[in-house]
Structure 1
Amino acid sequence: MDGQGAIGTAPDAAAIEAIARATIAALPEPFASHLTDIVLIIEEVAEDHVLANLGIEHPLDLTGLYHGNPVGQKSSTESGSLPDRIHLYRRAILDEWIETDVRLDDLVAHVTIHEIGHHFGLSDDDMHALEDLVTDA
């Protein structure tokens, strides 16, 4: 993947999703087996109430968000709850892509792994190590 869309067009949601799914598929065990039920959602920008709850003023300041309980906090007695979800916000990702000149596939992988890190309750250092493992593969 070259990390860019066709000349003159911004990558669409399907392109962002494909990069994110490829990133998830490249994760080693034990991570991969814990991600089979994660729902991946690509949206243009975060909804106003999400931004307000996070104290974020501008929708282009949020590239991704994890909704759910980290793996270590899950309970077998939970029922009826929504599945864990990773939201990626396309316009915010594209804005950061333009501002930073980072390859799009690297940026989407970074955001995806950061949100997966929340699923596992990883530290920032652990997230960076996992990202290095996946992007160096």
Structure 2
Amino acid sequence: MVELSQDEFERLVTDELDALPDDMVDGLENLVFLVEDRPEDGSLDLLAVYDGTDLTERDRYGFGELPDRIIVYREPHLAACDTVDELRDELHVTLVHEIAHYYGIDDAELHRLGWA
């Protein structure tokens, strides 16, 4: 298990977001990334969640709407990884996975592509 403070973990998340390809992140609008310790149920099974309306389901959206959210859970990530390098890799996969949901890619397709 990796041990990192909230600030250190948030810096890693930011670093991994910055390292994602431009064509993946340039289309993100009205979306915020948040870090929380654990999901509401307290489990360590869920690494992150996309909370919003994906692009394929939007009609009129964005003006006056609260932003969609990708919430990355710190404690489940730390519990799942033994090294900081492993944590970086897991964060990368997690961010790609959740951003894919924003673009309307479901879990079945993510499994097929190797991102789930």
**TM-score, shorter chain, exceeding 0.5:** yes
Output the CA distance in 1 between the equivalents of 2:69 and 2:15.
17
Matched, 1:24 2:8: no
SS at 2:59 equivalent: coil
Q: Number of residues paired by the alignment?
A: 112
- Which 5+ residue runs of structure 2 have no aligned equivalent? none
Greater relative CO (CA pairs within 8 A, separation 6+): 2
- Which 5+ residue runs of structure 1 have no aligned equivalent? 49-57, 129-137
Q: Give the structure-1-normalised TM-score.
A: 0.66
Q: Give the structure-2-normalised TM-score.
A: 0.76
**1:11 Cα shift?**
1.1
SS at 1:60 equivalent: coil
SS at 2:44 equivalent: helix
The match for 2:76 among 66, 81, 92 is: 92
Percent of pairs identical after alignment?
28
Matched, 1:67 2:67: no
Q: CA RMSD in A?
A: 2.9
Query: Which structure is larger by alpha-carbon Rg, 1 or 2?
Result: 1
**1:77 Cα shift?**
4.9
The match for 1:112 among 85, 92, 95 is: 95
Name the CA shift for 1:77/1:88 in 2 (closer, same or farther; >3 Å).
Answer: closer
Equivalent residues of 1:19, 1:109 under 8 A apart = no
